[in-house]
A = this chain, B = another copy of it.
Amino acid sequence: MTTSSAPGKVYLFGEHAVVYGEPAVPCAVDRRARVTVEQRDDSRIRVEADDLSLDGFTVTYGENPDDADVNVPGDLVAAATGYVDGAVAQARDAAGVPDAGFSVTIESAIPLGAGLGSSAAVAVAGIDAATRALGVELSCGELADRAYRVEHDVQEGQASRADTFCSTMGGAVRVEGDACERLPEPPDLPFVIGYDGGTGDTGELVAGVRALRERYGFAADTVESIGDLVREGERALREGDVARLGELMDYNHGLLSALGVSARSLDAMVWAARDAGATGVKLTGAGGGGCVVALDETDATETALEYTPGCESAFRAELDAEGVRRE
C-alpha cells in the first residue's frame, strides 16, 4: 500500500482576473486529500471514497466507467472517478505500465465542489501514490504538470495551473499565465473558512465576467485593478503585514462583487465575519456559492459563521507550507 496526501487551497487574491493574465495568489491550507493505492492483479480500478461525497461510495470499474457497479448518481461518480481515472492514467504513462490496476482509497477532508481544490488534491496525491507504487519517483514539477493535465481533461479545458501547482508545492504561490512560483515564507495566516454547502457554475461565472469585460471599459479596468491589488498583496505578504492583507482581501471581495460573482450566501458570511472582527474576508474561488475565507486569529469569526444562516460549516485552516506528502 502506498499513500500520499495533498492539501486543498484558498485564493488569498486574484481569482477571475487570473484568466486574463493578471497574477493570483492561492495558498495551500491544512485540509488534505489522502489517497492510498494498492496494485491489483488485474488492470481494473477500484475506488473507495470517504467524505468525497456526503456519504462516500465504492465503485469498481474496468476500461469503461459506464459499466461500473455503484449505487450513487452517475454524475457524481463520473466527476469523482474522473480525477482518479486521470491520475491512474498519468501514473501508468509515467511508469510505462499501461495495464496497471489499482485499488484506490480516498479520504478527503476537503469539501467536494466547494472551490477549495479537492479535485486538484486528489489528482496530485493520486498520481504521486500510483507512480510510487509502480516504482517511479516524479519531480514536483512533473507531478504538478501531470495533475494539471488531469484537471484540464476532466474540466474540458477550463482548468488553471494554480490549483494543482499549489497543492503540489504547498505554501503561498504566485500564478501568472502559465508561470507558477512558490512565494518565500509567508507570515502566519489564521484562515477561517465558511462554506455555504453549495457550488457556483464556474463556466457560467467566467462567461459572465468575460461579457462584462467586453461590454464595458470600466469592467476591464476592474480586472486590471485586481492585478494591481494582487501585486500590493505580494508586498504585504513579504512584509508580513497581516492587517494590510485583510484590507486588501476586503477590497478584492468588493471588486469581485462588482464583477457579479458573489452570492447572497457569500455576502451573508462576509458580513458575519466582518461584524465578528475578522481582519479581512472575501469569497474564494469562482464564487456564485461555495466558500469565503477570512483572516482571524481569534475564535470570533468561526463562531459567528457557525451561527450564520446559510453557512453549512465553518472551520479553521492554517496555511500549509507542505505540499504533496508521502504518508
User: Taking beta carbons and an 8 Å cutoff, which residues of A are in contact with B?
Assistant: 212, 216-219, 221-222, 224-226, 228-229, 232, 250-251, 253-260, 262, 264, 267-268, 271, 274-275
Q: Are A254 and B258 within 8 A (Cβ)?
A: yes
| Given A221-B221, A222-B225, A228-B217, CB of A254 within 8 Å of CB of B259 | yes
CB A225 to nearest CB in B, in angstroms, measures 4
29 A-B contacts, Cβ less than 8 Å apart?
A216-B228, A216-B232, A217-B228, A218-B226, A218-B228, A218-B229, A218-B232, A218-B251, A219-B251, A221-B221, A221-B228, A222-B225, A250-B260, A251-B258, A251-B260, A253-B257, A253-B258, A254-B254, A254-B255, A254-B259, A254-B260, A254-B262, A255-B255, A255-B258, A257-B257, A257-B258, A258-B258, A264-B271, A268-B268
Complex CA–CA separation, A257 to B283 (angstroms) = 14
CB A264 to nearest CB in B, in angstroms, measures 4
Complex CA–CA separation, A275 to B267 (angstroms) = 13
CB A218 to nearest CB in B, in angstroms, measures 4
8 more A-B residue pairs beyond the given contacts A218-B228, A254-B260, A255-B255, with a C-beta to C-beta distance below 8 A: A221-B221, A221-B225, A253-B258, A254-B257, A257-B258, A258-B258, A264-B271, A267-B271
